[in-house]
Structure 1
Amino acid sequence: MNKLKLFLIIISSLLLIFIVATMINTLTLESRQPSPKHFNGTIKEDHAINTLSKAVQFKTISYQDRSKMDMMEFDRFISFLEKSFPMVHKELELEKVNGYALVYKWNGTDSTKNPIGLTSHYDVVPVLEGTEENWEQDPFSGAVADGKIWGRGTLDDKVGVIGILEAAEHMLTEGYQPSRDIYLMFGHDEEIGGDEGASKIVSSLKERGVKFDFVLDEGGAIVENMVPGVEQPVGVVGVSEKGSATAELSIEGSGGHSSQPKDRTNIGRIASAIAKLEETQFPADLKGPGEDLFEFVAPEMSFAMRYVFANKFIFEPIIEKILLQQPASAALIRTTIAPTIFHAGEQYNALPEKASAIINLRLMPGDSLEEVKEFIEETIDDDAIKVTIEGSEASGVSNVDSWHFRSIQQSAKNVYDEAVIAPYLMFAGSDAKHYDSIAENTYRFLPVQLTSEDLNRMHGTNEHISIDNYLNAISFYMEVIKEVDRKVDSKD
């Protein structure tokens, strides 16, 4: 046997082993989806629809300038809740933290178990001035038309507040009592950081030694056409949220007349620094919540995509390259850079003595502010440019193998049986981050099915929710409460 023939045999054998091994990985990939236990409860639909409709009509608007907030509207909203949910206010203990943040305690039968928390917020963002006429229904009308409830807060996030309370009211009316304590917690300033709402709730509960098994907030949703290769809608449960930071690049130096410019001006140097950052970008790495997402959805993919993700250890560079082609998937695997503000110059024929740029960064779990600053400085490589950074790092990453996550996943599957429920990394901020210090795990999930157009409406024009979606959200919260009770103890 000559050497060439022997070489070909060896190569063929290795190729065959490779094919067999990767095919075994693909064919033995097991689904991580639970079997649905179909929801069989009843909901007072007319009451539920009417209550959310009325809730939207209160202009509980948060502004960065807190002096603009009309707190009388917040007071009126709280009074509205007391009238709309009589059983909740009769049977549950209500505490108003810092005047407007609401904490309802639903006592369970077994005080040895850690409680769980369901949280949402009832403040909303303003309607952008000049866009009011673009709305099909008045943004604070709460109009019910064409099978939808219209107005600011129907998606973000009065639907969560009212959905949770509707679920509790119905279960209380039927005489239900949970086995463990359940806290219903509603902030009033989430849209501007939650410092006076959720943060104060956490401080108050921490002083009393309250420790949650898990807290569930808004966040991901059930989204159509979200993951390539998966035909079903994918329900994403946030297990962490990216940090948010602001970096400023600034330079000072001599100005002068524009007729005699230096080869490198202050504007040019800042522009060059931004160009370097955009060209270089932070390194991408499919790990953490992003990796978890694909581990949960891979078994539900078409065969070709399942083959790739079942053998991620081989194809990871290709996967990362594909993910980097779209902004949404790129943000899943790297810290992002977004230049948002540039300041320089006042006179067309005068070189500015100062120039600066603001960059918004969304940090991956594990990337510290100091490491991000060092990366920026090394990338721009210009000692004349001063770099400052401030903000918050990513939240902790919650467990996807815990009974906590499985309870949420099962509850979602019970209501949306065709959906694939998986963990993911949330890009935006939420009140959940405040609860990290008093909860073993925090999760982020809005139990409604959305299109890409719906996602744009959350802080935009024509925010609305279908009645079916809203009723499904109530069903989900009822299922979560029941599902948690099926757990014998925290080790289940």
Structure 2
Amino acid sequence: MKKIKLSLMITASLLLVFIIVTMFNTLTLQSRQPSPKHVNGSIKEDHAINTLSKAIQFKTVSYQDRSKMDLKEFDSFISFLELSFPMVHEELELEKVNGYALVYKWKGNDSTKLPIGLTSHYDVVPVLEGTEANWEHDPFSGTIAEGKIWGRGTLDDKIGVIGVLEAAEHLLSEGYQPSRDIYLMFGHDEEIGGDKGAAMIVSTLNERGIKFDFVLDEGGAIVENMVPGVNKPVGVVGVSEKGSATAELSIEGSGGHSSQPKDRTNIGRIAGAIAKLEKNQFPADLRGPVEDLFEFVAPEMSFGMKYVFANKFIFEPVIEKILLKQPASAALIRTTIAPTIFHAGEQYNALPEKASAIVNLRLMPGDSLEEVKDFIEKTIDDEDIKVTIEGSEASGVSSIDSWHFKSIQQSAKNVYEEAVIAPYLMFAGSDAKHYDSIAENTYRFLPVQLTSEDLNRMHGTNEHISIENYLKAISFYMEVIIEANKEQ
């Protein structure tokens, strides 16, 4: 009996300690959000709205087959910028890299400070053939209706180009002079990798020894209902982007007539390999930018969720299990596997001598191509299947403790006072990865508030932006220029 009482006392004591420690962690969790400041200045709204509307009307469409690109439209767009932003073109130095990538240098007062860079792209993806009739307004009309501006590029990413230039034009009109050099850099082929645009800008600047304190590109946005337990919209600033790689699984062997098949055909073996990869996914790990995301949003959560995330060292397996239930959140914590292409056979009654499958992978920071290949080979466990892989690893992870990130966070908070601004890991690719080699930090943030439906419109049908959102984006770019120039 005494032993039982002692055991119960020990258990109760441990439980009490557990409750005290976990409650202490929860109740002492401090917000990582800055207080909003007064937004600087007012914007010439009519000019801004009409300029973005006109910018959408230029069909600066990128194609994988570059011969399809109508460069006359690109030339016309550049001429349009010169007419629309006279002070920018009078006071900033403009250089055209490769003829179409644009670099504006805004000279600051202090040459000892490293510059900052704001970058966007003005090329857009094509409108899928056969879907034109599904648009409420023509995709290249720039229609202004229902408090919105419609057309391809309103979200991705002429809003960034025009928004930055509007901000610069406004600040110049008020006599603003930055303390450090500011580079405004606009690529023309981001949608097909940026090899002739951003990559060449970086190469040109690198040859001149130009390095940046930070570069800000498009990327995360302010999204509603993004994080469970957080009722406020969450603005996510990409501090890294996942790598993108393609793995090919292939096998060759004797074919034969379909009337006498072997127990294991080439198609069956490749299909079996894919099935193994889908069943045995890369391990999940709540680390890096995703761990940072939850550290920033946890203090803003409802009590129950806050309790879980404040004690992540205990509940991490539970958190990972929850995140793995949805594709979007699962992609935050593991390298993903997506079979996209299968090749095999030409004749219905002949066994193919070759079979292959293409798998697209999005790599977590820290996962190398070689490690990913090894994982695939061990998982499929078939020596006859050849695995090749090519692509890029994840970008570097930028600081969340530096003044660079804090300037962006403060600027976003100034414009979107109710939003929770946090770092995150970006799934898609951007031009920011090219700037990693010449910038201490690179960040990815589109300063607009979006719904899940808006996100689907970026490369889809009925892309549009609310006028309110667009004007706030301009305000954000003004704020980030001013905030960054306060720092040493």
User: After superposition, what is the alpha-carbon deviation per residue over 1:93-133, rounded to whole angstroms, capped at 9, x for unaligned?
Assistant: 00000100000000001111000000000000000000000
Residue of structure 2 equivalent to 1:434: 434
What is the alpha-carbon root mean square deviation over aligned residues?
Answer: 0.5
Please tell me whether residue 156 in structure 1 is matched to residue 156 in structure 2: yes
**1:204 corresponding residue in structure 2:** 204
Does residue 401 of structure 1 match 2:397?
no
Q: Which residue in the other structure is 2:52 paired with?
A: 52
Partner Cα distance (1:385, 1:108) in 2: 58
Where structure 2 has 5 or more consecutive residues not aligned to the other structure, the ranges are: none
One-letter identity of the residue aligned with 1:116:
I
DSSP-derived class of the 1:481 partner: helix
Preserved CA contact (<8 Å) 2:40 2:478? no
Paired residue for 1:388? 388
Q: Which residue of 1 aligns with 2:111?
A: 111
Structure 1 residue 345, shift from structure 2 partner: 0.7
Note the 1:64-463 alignment, pairs <5 A.
64-463=64-463
Equivalent residue pairs, number: 488
Residues 27-48 of structure 1 deviation map (CA, whole Å, 9 limit, x = unaligned): 0000000000031410000000
Structure 2 counterpart SS, 1:218? strand
Q: CA separation in 2, counterparts of 1:209 and 1:105?
A: 15
The offset of 1:171, in angstroms, is 0.4
Q: Work out the CA distance in 2 between the residues paired with 1:482 and 1:80.
A: 27
CA offsets per residue over residues 38-66 of structure 1, 9 Å max, x none? Answer: 31410000000000000000000000000
Give, in angstroms, the shift of residue 391 of structure 1.
0.4
TM superposition outliers: structure 1 runs of 4+ over 3 Å: none
Match of 1:19 in 2: 19
Mapped contact 2:118–2:185 kept (Cα < 8 A):
yes
Q: Please give the alpha-carbon distance, in whole angstroms, between the structure 2 residues aligned to 1:41 and 1:458.
A: 30
Cα distance in 1 for residues equivalent to 2:361 and 2:66: 25
TM-score by length of 1: 0.99
Residue type matched to 2:129 in 1? E
Whole-angstrom distance in 1 between the partners of 2:86 and 2:479: 21
Distance between the aligned counterparts of 1:209 and 1:278, measured in 2?
A: 46
Deviations 1:393-427 (A, max 9, x none): 00000000110000000000000000000000000
CA distance in 1, matches of 2:310, 2:200: 44
Greater shift in the superposed pair: 343-352 or 464-473: 343-352
Q: Secondary structure at the match of 1:118?
A: strand
One-letter code aligned to 2:100:
Y
* Separation (CA, whole Å) in 2 of partners of 1:63 and 1:292: 36
- Post-superposition Cα deviations, 1:435-483, rounded to whole Å, max 9, x if no partner, equal 0000000000000000000000000000000000000000000000111
Give the Å deviation of 1:486. 1.7
Tell me the distance in 1 between the aligned counterparts of 2:382 and 2:176: 65
For the residue of structure 2 that corresponds to 1:176, the secondary structure is coil
SS at match of 2:357: strand
Q: Supply the AA of the counterpart residue of 2:144.
A: V
Contact (CA 8 Å) 1:109, 1:177: kept in 2 or not? yes
Distance, in Å, in 2 between the alignment partners of 1:29 and 1:102 is 45
Contact in 2 for aligned 1:49/1:467 (Cα 8 Å): yes
Name the counterpart of 2:473.
Answer: 473
CA displacement at 1:237 relative to structure 2: 0.1
Once the two structures are superposed, what CA deviation does each residue of 1:281-333 show, in whole Å capped at 9, x if it has no partner?
Answer: 00000000010000000000000000000000000000000000000000000
Mapped contact 1:38–1:417 kept (Cα < 8 A): no
Q: Percent identity?
A: 86
Gapped regions of structure 1 (runs ≥ 5): none
Partners of 1:149 and 1:464 within 8 A in 2 = yes
Q: Secondary structure at the match of 2:172?
A: helix
Q: Distance in 2 between matches of 1:468 and 1:483?
A: 22
TM-score w.r.t. length of structure 2? 1.00
In structure 1, distance between residues paired with 2:196 and 2:486: 35
Tell me, in whole angstroms, the C-alpha distance in 2 between the residues paired with 1:394 and 1:91. Answer: 37
Amino acid of the structure 2 residue aligned with 1:433: K
In the alignment, the residues of structure 2 paired with residue 200 and residue 485 of structure 1 have an alpha-carbon distance, to the nearest angstrom, of 27
In structure 1, distance between residues paired with 2:23 and 2:486:
38
Alignment of 1:3-14 (within 5 A): 3-14=3-14
Hey, what's the Cα distance between the residues in 1 that align with 2:150 and 2:305? Answer: 39
Task: Tell me how far apart the structure 2 counterparts of residues 227 and 38 of structure 1 sit (CA, whole Å).
Answer: 27
3-state secondary structure, aligned to 2:348: coil
Confirm or deny: 8 A CA contact 2:252 2:353 kept in the other structure. Answer: yes
Letter in 1 for 2:254: S
Distance in 1 separating the partners of 2:486 and 2:364: 35
- CA offset at residue 85 of structure 1? 0.2
Tell me how far 1:485 sits from its aligned partner.
1.7
